[in-house]
């Protein structure tokens, strides 16, 4: 018999898919309540399966992709799906190997668009060294979908002795970001050409496998996450909630491109909540954080930086402002950008 339902909302809203508190409650209080098992962990990007694999763990992840428009500067929903799935395995310390693909196609989608999406997906698979091993397609009636939705499952292998996770984080640890934040969310805004805005900012959508591989050898590495929905602020909240500590981010240290900052100032968005699709947030012991940044700089990630620290204190996220003050970064509840990943 399942446990009594704690989920209080009467209807599902867009906010239940934004990566913030509502989404966590939906997953933990509804899905996990019914589907809990000894291998279901809702706090990780990829889960280890209890299958023997000669010194390695078999890791599995699954994801769904909806983006509007389907094509945007720097990618499309096809390359986004491959990179997003590969990235969840990579930040878990796994080497991605295989994908499955489910395509939900809306009646009326132009075949040329679908052809470009699949071509981009094929290029991304080749670049990441993964293969699509199985798939399925469904066509839904016109008006019942957003042109194309994709759902993927990723399989990879991780060394059995690798110990990464939120449970490893301690006060004194440092927070590192591999590059500028908010590029993907802003690129999607500009691609929609709403609010009279347009621009040529490219999404950061890409495989983070090389970034993860550059960080994994460091003995002080505790945790990695790709800051997709909800951005770096939401990852910081995950860290704070899991470690029961304060995460302090340094506004002056967080790299934000001028176009991202400009769009946020005009539309009232906060770049720290905007999605990234090719960045890694890592938590490391202080003696390893500087080495992590050096490794990433050598790899060509010139904006990689130490952007914060974990402190003893209440579970919260604090932004140290450029002016020397502090402001609380609240946990995301509203959805600022529907359908961006």
Quote the CA–CA distance of 322 and 171 in Å, as a whole number: 23
* d(C-alpha 171, C-alpha 219), whole Å: 17
Mean pLDDT of 307-323: 97
Whether residue 324 has pLDDT greater than 80? yes
d(CA 60, CA 157): 9
Task: Check residue 340 and report its DSSP letter.
Answer: B
Question: Mean pLDDT for the chain?
Answer: 90
Q: DSSP string covering 273-334, please?
A: GS--SS--EEEE-HHHHHHHHHHHHHTT-TT-EEEEEEESSSSEEEEE-TTS-EEE-PPP-S
Q: 56-70 burial, b for 16+ CB within 10 Å, e for fewer?
A: bbbbbbebebbbeeb
Cα-based angle 98, 103, 109 (whole degrees, multiple of 5): 140
**SS3 annotation, 35-84:** HCCCCCCCCCCCEEEEEEECCEEEEEEEEEECECCCEECCEEHHHHHHHH
| pLDDT tens, position by position, 228-238 | 989 999 999 99
Give me Rg for the CA atoms of the chain.
Answer: 19
Burial class (CB in 10 A: 0-12, 13-18, 19+), 25: middle
Q: Which residue has the tokens 């002016």?
A: 323
Which of 28-32, 115-119, 258-262, 306-310 is least confident?
A: 28-32
Split at pLDDT 50, 70, 90, the class of 6 is confident
Task: From residue 309, give the alpha-carbon distance in Å to each of 65, 253, 277.
Answer: 32, 12, 23
Question: CATH 3.90.650.10 region(s) of the chain?
Answer: 166-328
Q: Is the peptide bond before 69 cis (omega within 30 degrees of 0)?
A: yes
Bridge partners (DSSP) of residue 176 are: 282, 306
Give the tens place of pLDDT for each residue, 193-242.
766 676 789 999 999 999 999 999 999 999 999 999 899 999 999 999 99
CA distances from 245 to 166, 238, 316, 329 (A): 12, 10, 7, 14
- The CATH code of the domain at 43-159 is 3.30.1330.10
Beta pairing partners, 48: 59
Task: Compute how many other C-beta atoms are within 10 angstroms of the C-beta atom of residue 81.
Answer: 29
Specify the domain boundaries for CATH 3.30.1330.10 within the chain. 43-159
- Position 332 pLDDT exceeds 90: no
Q: Which of 62-71, 131-140, 283-292 has the lowest mean pLDDT?
A: 131-140
Distance CA 77, CA 70 (A): 5
199-304-251 Cα angle (round to 5): 75
With 0-12 CB in 10 A as exposed, 13-18 as middle and 19+ as buried, what is 180?
buried
Instruction: List pLDDT tens digits, range 41-90.
Output: 888 877 777 777 788 999 999 999 999 999 999 999 999 999 999 999 99
Can you list the pairs that 294-302 forms with residues at least 24 positions away whose Cβ atoms lie under 8 Å?
295/214, 295/215, 295/218, 296/176, 296/178, 296/211, 296/214, 296/215, 299/210, 299/211, 299/214, 301/178, 301/179, 301/211
Q: How confident is the model at residue 1 (pLDDT cuts 50, 70, 90)?
A: very low
| pLDDT tens for each residue of 158-190 | 999 899 999 999 999 999 999 999 999 999 988
The predicted pLDDT at position 271 comes to: 95
| Residues 166-328, CATH architecture | Alpha-Beta Complex (3.90)
pLDDT for 184: 95
What is the rounded average pLDDT of the residues 255-281? 94
CB neighbours of residue 213 within 10 Å: 14
Point out the least confidently predicted range of 27-31, 266-270, 322-326: 27-31
Number of Cβ atoms within 10 Å of the Cβ of 11: 5
- CA terminus-to-terminus distance, the chain: 35
């Amino acid at each position: 018999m399942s446990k009594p339902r704690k989920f209080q909302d009467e209807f599902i809203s867009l906010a239940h898919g934004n990566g913030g508190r509502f989404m966590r409650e939906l997953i933990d209080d509804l899905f996990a309540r019914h589907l809990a098992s000894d291998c279901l962990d809702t706090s990780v990007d990829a889960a280890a399966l209890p299958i023997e694999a000669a010194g390695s763990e078999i890791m599995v992840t699954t994801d769904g992709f909806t983006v509007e428009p389907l094509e945007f500067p720097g990618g499309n929903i096809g390359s986004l799906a491959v990179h997003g799935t590969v990235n969840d395995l990579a930040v878990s310390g796994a080497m991605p190997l295989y994908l499955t693909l489910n395509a939900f196609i809306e009646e009326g989608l132009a075949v040329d668009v679908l052809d470009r999406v699949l071509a981009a997906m094929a290029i991304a698979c080749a670049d990441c060294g993964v293969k699509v091993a199985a798939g399925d397609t469904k066509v839904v009636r016109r008006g019942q979908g957003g042109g194309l939705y994709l759902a993927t499952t990723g399989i990879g292998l991780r060394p059995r002795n690798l110990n990464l996770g939120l449970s490893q984080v301690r006060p004194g640890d440092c927070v590192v970001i591999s590059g500028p934040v908010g590029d993907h969310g802003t690129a999607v805004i500009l691609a929609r050409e709403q609010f009279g805005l347009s621009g040529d900012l490219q999404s950061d959508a890409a495989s983070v496998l090389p970034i993860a591989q550059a960080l994994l050898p460091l003995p002080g590495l505790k945790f990695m996450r790709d800051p997709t929905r909800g951005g770096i602020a939401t990852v910081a909240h995950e860290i704070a909630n899991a470690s029961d500590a304060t995460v302090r981010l340094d506004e002056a240290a967080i790299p934000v491109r001028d176009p991202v900052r400009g769009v946020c100032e005009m539309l009232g968005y906060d770049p720290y909540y905007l999605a990234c699709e090719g960045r890694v947030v890592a938590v490391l012991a202080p003696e390893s954080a500087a080495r992590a940044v050096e490794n990433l700089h050598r790899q060509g990630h010139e904006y990689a930086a130490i952007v914060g620290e974990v402190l003893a204190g209440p579970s919260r996220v604090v932004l140290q402002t450029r002016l020397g003050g502090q402001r609380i970064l609240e946990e995301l509840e509203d959805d600022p950008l529907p359908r961006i990943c």
